[in-house]
Structure 1
Amino acid sequence: MSLLSRRQFLLTSTAAGGLVMVHPFTAAAAAGQAHLRLLCTTDIHCHIRPYDYYADKPVDTVGLSRTASLIEGVRSEAANTMTFDNGDYMQGNPMADYIAYSKGMKEGDTHPVIAAMNVLGYDCGTLGNHEFNYGMEFLGKVNAKAGYPLVCANFAHKLGASPREDDLYLPPYIILDRELTDGAGNKLPIKVGVIGFVPPQIMQWDRSHLEGNYNTRDIVQAGAAWVPQMREEGADIVVALAHTGIDASAQSEGMENAALYVAGIEGIDVVITGHQHLNFPGKDFEGPGIDNDKGTLQGKPAVQAGFWGNHMGLIDLMLEQDGGKWKIATHTSEIRPIFKRGEDRSVTALTEDYGPVLHSSDQVHEATLKYVRAKVGETTAPLYSYFALVADDPSVQVVSNAQLWYVKQLLEGTPEGKLPLLSAAAPFKAGGRGGPDYYTDVPKGPVAIKNVADLYLYPNTLQAVKVTGAQVKDWLERASGMFNQVAAGAKDAMLLNPEFPSYNFDVIDGVTYKIDITQPSKFGKDGDVVNPDANRIVDLQFEGKPIDPEAEFVIATNNYRASGGGQFPGADGSTVIYRAPDTNRDVIVRYIHDKGTISPQADANWSFAPAGGATVLFETGPRAQSYLEDVKSRGLNIEPADGGEGGFARYRITL
C-alpha cells in the first residue's frame, strides 16, 4: 500500500473562483474507486460541553460539542463518511454522577450523552469499561435510547466452550450496508463490518455489578473467532472498535491493552483504539509494529483520539473494487485537536461549539451546576491544608480514607486482599509558588462536588502496589526530603526544603512513625541515594509493633507515583498489582457519597521526633490562624512567629 502524508491536501478552483480543500484520495478517485473517511470519538466520559464542573468554569480543552464541529466540518467536505464511538461515553464527570446518583434514569429517558450522540448520527459504537460503573440496569436504560447499534464481542452473560458459543450481552458485530459515491459519481453498495471489544478487567473493576452474572473473554481470542464469520457474511472491510489501549509488550491472555494484537487479527482492516486517554498517531507509543509516522499498527490504519473530546480521530481510506468487492488501496490516519497549548501553558481554542450538540444538554447542564454546588455529603471536621507539611492533616486524611475504602473492596477475595493495606497521599495545595491563598479550606459541614477539586487537583487514576516493609520505610525516607536537616537544639532554623514539591511529601496511613530531622535526608532531590546510612524515619510501627522489613504490604496510591513519579523506592512500575479505571478524585466523590457523613480528623499517625528543643520556622497562609488550636490539640508545639513574606504567615515549632 502506498501512503500519503496525513495532512496533504490539494487546492482546486471552484466555479465561483474560490478555493476548496480536496483530499488527495477524493481528487484521485476514478470509477470503481471511492474515498471513505472514518471519524471517531473515544473516552468522552460525559464531557458533552466545554465545562469543568469541578472548577465550576468554562474551559476550551474538553467537550463533544467542540469535537462535533470537527466532525461536521469533515462531513461537509467529503462524499463518504462514517462515524463511530469507541466507548467510555457515559461516566466520568459530575454530570454523569448527577444522572446516576441524583436525577436517575426512568424508562424512556434519554441520557444526555446519548442525546448528543444521536444528534451527530453515529453509525456504530461499543462499550468501554466505565459503562459498567453504575450497574447493569442503569446501562440498559442508557443504551436503550441510542439511535445507533452497539456491539461487543467479548462480554457475555455466560461463556461457552468457544467464543462463538458465548451468550453475549450485545451482538458481537454488525454488517452495515452503506452506499459509496465513487470518483465518477456512481452510487455503489458496500458492506462495512464493525466489531467491538472491552477490557476483560471489568470483571475486577466492577466485580460488585458483574460477578456471578457476566463474564469476559480475551479480546484477541474473541476477535479471531468472529472476524471470519463477518467475512463469510460479506463484509468488504472490517473496523474494530477496540476499547483497549496500545501495548508493545508480549501478548498475554486477558491483556488489558491489546490493540496492537487486534491489528494482527487476519481480516481486520482498521483499528479504532482508546482506553488509555493518549494519542495515536503521535509520540505516546513506540515499539515493534507501531508506526507513528504512518499511523499504523502492524501495518493497518489506527487511531487513538485522546479523551473527553479533546481530539477527533480520522482515518482516510482509498477504496477500490476488486471482483465486485471493495478493498483498501491506500490509507492515512490522524487525530485533530480542539485546542492548542502555548509554551506559556495558555490554551487557544481551535474550534467553536456545534450548536445542536451543545443545546442537547442545556437543561441537564443547569441541573448539574446546581448539583455540583450542592452538598454530596457532610464533614464533621474542616478540611484544610495550612499545616499539611508539618503535621498529620485532614485534607490528606480524607484522600487516604477514600483510597483505603476503594482498594479494600476491590482486592477482597484476591490473594493481595489478605495483605495489610496502607495508603499513600500527599498535600497538593500547600502554598509555595501558588501563593498564600493556595491551600485547601473546606469548612465543617456540607461538602460539594466542586470541593473535591480542592482535595485532589490532578486527574490521576488510583493504583495499588505490593511492597516490603523495608520499601515502606524507604518510601517514607524519600518523602522526608521535604525537610532541611536541623541540628539538635538549633534556634529558628528554616524547616522546609524549598526545592522539594509538596506533591512528593507522601504520608502513609496504616503505619505510625516519627521523622528525625536531625538526620540528613537519605535521598537527594531527584531520588538518588546520597546518605545511605541515614535514618530519618524512626519508631516505624504496624499494628503497634516494629515493622517487619520482610513483610509484604499493599499501598494504595496514584498512577503517577506507582509508575515512578518522584522516584520513590518500591514504586517504579514493576510493583503495580492493580490499576483502577477510576480517577482518585472520582474515588473521593464516591466515598463521600457512600458514607454520607465523613469524619476525616487527622489521626496523628506521624509526627516529628524530639530534636533537643530545637525551634524551626515555616510559612503558611494567613488563614491558618483559624485552625491553630485544632492542630495544637494534636500535639504540635506551635505558635505564631514574626516575619513572613509575600502575604505568608510565619510559625514556630519547638521540637
Structure 2
Amino acid sequence: MTAFPISPAPEPGPPETLRLRVLQTTDVHGHILPFDYHANTANHSGGLARIASLVTQARTDAGHENCLLLDTGDFLQGTPLSDLTPLPGQGWRGRNPVLRAMNLMGYDAATLGNHEFNFGLDGLHRALVQARFPLTCANAILHPGEQPDQDQTLLPPYLILSRRMRDTTGRWHVLRIGLLGLLPPQIMSWDHAHLSGRLSTRDMVETARAWLPVVRAAGADLVIVMAHSGIDPGPDHPMMENATRALARLPGIDAILAGHSHKRFPDPEHAATPGADIARATLHGMPCIKAGFAGSHLGQLDLTLSRTEGKWQVIGHQARLIPTAGTPPDQRLVRALSAAHVHTLRVTDRVLGHVTAPLHSYLAQARNDPGTQLVNDAQRRALAKALAGTQYAALPLLSASAPFKTGGRGGPGHYTDIPEGPLRLRNITDLYGFPNTLCGLIVTGEQLHDWLERAVICFHRITPGAACQMLLDPGVPGHDFDVIDGLSYTIDLTQPARFDLDGHLLDPSARRIRSLCHAGHPIADGDRFVIATNSYRAWGGGPFAALAETALIHLDSRPVRDLVADYVTQRGTLVPKARATWSFAPMARTVVMIETGPGVRAYPSDITDLGATDLGDSKMGFARLRLTLPLMAQPQDFLPDTDSCES
C-alpha cells in the first residue's frame, strides 16, 4: 500500500474587522436653529443646526454606511419653537419643527426622555407619527405583564437595525444592531396629570435585565442601551432616576448612550465617580458617552468589532464629545425651518404688557426676586379665582415657585434677563419655560416647614466668621429653590441640610427654617393653608414630597406660563416688586461668594444693594461676587407682605 502525505488544514485568515461610528445627541430640548427666542437674538453655540454640520463631517470621515445617528431623549420640549409653534391654537399648519429637523438629519433611531410627556400622550402621539425613524422604549408600559418582557409597551421595547457596512478591507457585511431604550420611571410623578391611569413604568435596571437576552435571541450582533438617565455616584436602589452605572454592570451590553442630567461623559466632573474611567470613556469597563444638552456637543463613539467563528465582538473603542461652539449651522436645515422660525417670532413678539424695571434672575438665590414674585402673584390670583365660592376660599392662600434659570449646567448665559419696557410672550416663556399646569393643595404648617427645608438644600452650610465660602451648592439646581409667597421666614445657614437631592432625610435634628410666620404670627404644625404650585412640584418633582397624592383640591388644564401671560395682560403695567418673604439669619461678619451670570454687571445698583463686591470672572465665565452675611437691607421697592415675627 502506498502512503500519501496528509495535506495540512488551511490556516484561518485574519479576523474580519469592522468599525462602527455611533453618533449621539441627547437633551436637545428644542434647540434647533442658531437663535435665542427669549433674547430675540442669534446665538453662537448649540442647537441641531450646528450638530447637523458636525454629523455630515463625521459621516464623511467614517463612511456614511458605517455610521448610526441616535438620540437619547428630551428632544421635543424646551424652546418656543418646540413648545409654542406646534401646539394647537397657535396657527401653525406645518410639521413639528423638531421632527422636521431630525428627519432631515437622517436619524437612525431615538428613545424618549421625561420631557416628551410634558404635552400628554395625545400630544406625544401627534408629534411622533411625523418621525421617519423608529423609536424604542422598554419601560413605559400600557399594560404590565408578570415580567418586564411580557409588558405591552408604549413603543417597541427594542429595535434591531440591519445595516450593510464595510469592513476594513472594503468587504460588505450585514450587522444587526440591537437598541434598547429606557427612561426615568419618575415620569409618573413628574407628569402625573397626563399619565395617571394611562401609563406605568418599571425600574430601568430590572427592565434591561429582562429584555437583554430577548434582544440577543432575536439576532442582535451587538446591543447598545439608549438610556435617558444620568450617572449617580451613590449606591444602587430600586427605581433609580440616574441608573447608568447600574446598567453598565449588566451582562449583554456593548455600549451605553446616556443623558438626562445635562452633564457630559467622559468629563473631568466624573473623575471621582466610582467605576468611571475618564481616559477610556468607560463605566465599570463599559463604553459610555453622554453629550451634554441643548446641542452643546455631538457624541461620537467609534466601536471596533472583530468577527471570529461567525460572531462579532467589540474589541476596542474611542470616544469624543465634539463641541458645537464655532461650528457653522447646516444651511439646508436652516432653510427648511425658516417658515417655522418666522412663525415663532410672530407668536412670541406679541406684547402683553409693560414692565417699569428689568426682571432678571442673576441674584434670585441671594435676595427676594421680582421675577419669582411675578409667577407667585399670577398663581395666587388664578387659584383664588378657581376656588372662589368653595369651602377652601376662606383658608389662607399661599403660592410656591422657584427661579428657573440660574446658570448651573446651562452655563453663564443661562439666566432670565428681561429689559424694562414692553413685556412680550417671549419674555414670559423665558421666565417660565416649562409646560407645567397649576395645582392647588391643602397643606399644614408642618408640611410647610418640610417643604421649605427641602427648598433650601441649595445652600452650603456656612461657618460663622469664615471667609470665601461658596454660598450655593452647584449640585442642586436653582429650580429647587422654592419661595413660598404669603409667609415670612429666615434661613439659618449654620445648620446642615436636612434633606439630600433625592429628598431623603439626612439629619433629623437639622432645621434651617426659622421664624416661620403668616400675617405676623408664628405658624403651628396643625395650621391649614391652601397653596398654589405647579404640577411637577405637586407630585414630588425634585427633592419634594408628593403632596398631591392626598392633598390635591384643584388641577388646572392650562400651563402656568399661560396664566402668567393672562396676569400680565390684565395688569397692563407692572412695577417689579418682591415682598420680603425670606432672609438669611444673622451671623457674625461672614464672607460668602456666589457665581452668577456676567450679565449682572448691567445692574450695578442691584450689586450695591446687596453690599456685594465684583471679583471678576471664574474660569467657566461666571461673574464672582463676594458678599458679607448678613446681607445689606433689600432695596426699598422690596415691600414686605407681612410683619416680621420671632418664633
Which bin holds the TM-score, normalised by the shorter protein?
0.5 to 0.7
Partner of 1:250: 235
1:579-625 deviations in whole A, cap 9, x for unaligned?
9xxxxxx98635425768565886856599xxxxxxxxx9949xx9x
- In the alignment, which of 185, 189, 193 is matched to residue 208 of structure 1? 193
Partner of 1:224: 209
**Contact 1:467/1:575 (8 A) holds in 2:** no
Partner of 2:219: 234
Paired AA for residue 564 in structure 2: I
Partner of 2:254: 269
Partner of 1:32: 16
- Segments of structure 1 that go 5 or more residues without pairing to the other structure are 1-28, 340-348, 409-417, 482-498, 516-520, 528-536, 559-572, 580-585, 609-617, 625-630, 637-655
1:345-401 deviations in whole A, cap 9, x for unaligned?
xxxx1x2112222222111011111122114x568x867569x99997754411334
Shift of residue 166 of structure 1?
A: 1.1
**Contact 1:31/1:184 (8 A) holds in 2:** no
Partner of 2:53: 69
Structure 2 residue 400 is the aligned partner of structure 1 residue 423:
yes
Paired AA for residue 36 in structure 2: D
- Segments of structure 2 that go 5 or more residues without pairing to the other structure are 1-12, 385-394, 407-411, 439-445, 463-469, 473-477, 498-512, 535-540, 548-557, 584-602, 610-635, 642-647
Shift of residue 471 of structure 1?
A: 7.2
Percent identity at matched positions?
A: 32
- In the alignment, which of 359, 373, 391 is matched to residue 349 of structure 2? 373
Q: How do residues 1-150 of structure 1 correspond to structure 2 at under 5 angstroms?
A: 32-79=16-63, 80-101=66-87, 110-150=95-135
Shift of residue 222 of structure 1?
A: 1.1
Farther-moved stretch of structure 1 (137-146 vs 311-320): 137-146
Paired AA for residue 208 in structure 2: G
**Contact 2:257/2:288 (8 A) holds in 1:** yes
Report the Cα distance in structure 2 between the residues aligned to 1:206 and 1:159, rounded to whole angstroms.
Answer: 19
Structure 2 residue 273 is the aligned partner of structure 1 residue 287:
yes
1:186-239 deviations in whole A, cap 9, x for unaligned?
111111111101111111111111111111111111111111011111101001
1:27-72 deviations in whole A, cap 9, x for unaligned?
xx97611111111111111111111110111111211111111111
Structure 2 residue 587 is the aligned partner of structure 1 residue 589:
no
Shift of residue 256 of structure 1?
A: 0.8
Paired AA for residue 71 in structure 2: D
1:469-496 deviations in whole A, cap 9, x for unaligned?
89779979x99x9xxxxxxxxxxxxxxx
3-state SS in 2 of match to 1:287: coil
3-state SS in 2 of match to 1:115: helix
**Contact 2:380/2:397 (8 A) holds in 1:** no
Report the Cα distance in structure 1 between the residues aligned to 2:232 and 2:367, rounded to whole angstroms.
Answer: 42
- In the alignment, which of 509, 517, 522 is matched to residue 484 of structure 2? 509
3-state SS in 1 of match to 2:373: helix
Shift of residue 316 of structure 1?
A: 0.8
1:220-266 deviations in whole A, cap 9, x for unaligned?
11111111011111101001111111112121211111111122221
Report the Cα distance in structure 2 between the residues aligned to 1:632 and 1:310, rounded to whole angstroms.
Answer: 39
Partner of 1:450: 427
**Contact 1:177/1:192 (8 A) holds in 2:** yes
**Contact 2:489/2:517 (8 A) holds in 1:** no
Partner of 1:362: 338
Paired AA for residue 29 in structure 2: H
Distance 1:246 1:549, change over 3 A: same
Paired AA for residue 180 in structure 1: M
3-state SS in 2 of match to 1:183: coil
Q: How do residues 284-363 of structure 1 correspond to structure 2 at under 5 angstroms?
A: 284-285=269-270, 286-339=272-325, 349=326, 351-363=327-339
3-state SS in 1 of match to 2:268: coil
TM-score by length of 1: 0.65
Distance 1:402 1:30, change over 3 A: farther
Paired AA for residue 589 in structure 1: R
Distance 1:150 1:406, change over 3 A: farther
Partner of 2:613: none
**Contact 2:72/2:226 (8 A) holds in 1:** yes
Shift of residue 115 of structure 1?
A: 1.4
3-state SS in 1 of match to 2:234: coil
Partner of 2:550: none
Distance 1:332 1:595, change over 3 A: same
Shift of residue 93 of structure 1?
A: 0.4
3-state SS in 2 of match to 1:284: helix
Partner of 1:468: 449
Shift of residue 99 of structure 1?
A: 2.3
Paired AA for residue 277 in structure 2: D
Partner of 1:628: none
Report the Cα distance in structure 2 between the residues aligned to 1:539 and 1:319, rounded to whole angstroms.
Answer: 64
Paired AA for residue 92 in structure 1: G
Report the Cα distance in structure 2 between the residues aligned to 1:632 and 1:182, rounded to whole angstroms.
Answer: 70
**Contact 1:153/1:195 (8 A) holds in 2:** yes
Report the Cα distance in structure 2 between the residues aligned to 1:313 and 1:36, rounded to whole angstroms.
Answer: 14
Distance 1:401 1:368, change over 3 A: same
1:128-152 deviations in whole A, cap 9, x for unaligned?
1111111212211211121111011
Report the Cα distance in structure 1 between the residues aligned to 2:404 and 2:222, rounded to whole angstroms.
Answer: 51
Report the Cα distance in structure 2 between the residues aligned to 1:406 and 1:166, rounded to whole angstroms.
Answer: 41
Distance 1:550 1:180, change over 3 A: same
**Contact 1:316/1:331 (8 A) holds in 2:** yes
**Contact 2:399/2:533 (8 A) holds in 1:** no
Paired AA for residue 151 in structure 1: T
**Contact 2:160/2:178 (8 A) holds in 1:** yes
Number of residues of Structure 1 aligned to a counterpart in Structure 2: 501
Partner of 2:387: none
Report the Cα distance in structure 1 between the residues aligned to 2:127 and 2:347, rounded to whole angstroms.
Answer: 20
Shift of residue 447 of structure 1?
A: 3.7
1:321-363 deviations in whole A, cap 9, x for unaligned?
0211211011122211112xxxxxxxxx1x2112222222111
**Contact 1:105/1:111 (8 A) holds in 2:** no
Distance 1:256 1:547, change over 3 A: same
Partner of 1:494: none
3-state SS in 1 of match to 2:27: coil
**Contact 2:85/2:343 (8 A) holds in 1:** no
Shift of residue 98 of structure 1?
A: 2.1
3-state SS in 1 of match to 2:238: coil
TM-score by length of 2: 0.65
Shift of residue 288 of structure 1?
A: 1.8
Farther-moved stretch of structure 1 (229-238 vs 74-83): 74-83
**Contact 2:397/2:486 (8 A) holds in 1:** no
**Contact 1:296/1:333 (8 A) holds in 2:** no
3-state SS in 1 of match to 2:163: strand
**Contact 1:391/1:606 (8 A) holds in 2:** no
Paired AA for residue 307 in structure 1: F
Report the Cα distance in structure 2 between the residues aligned to 1:500 and 1:267, rounded to whole angstroms.
Answer: 44
**Contact 1:466/1:554 (8 A) holds in 2:** no
3-state SS in 1 of match to 2:213: helix
Report the Cα distance in structure 1 between the residues aligned to 2:582 and 2:170, rounded to whole angstroms.
Answer: 78
Distance 1:422 1:72, change over 3 A: same
Partner of 2:373: 397
3-state SS in 2 of match to 1:450: helix
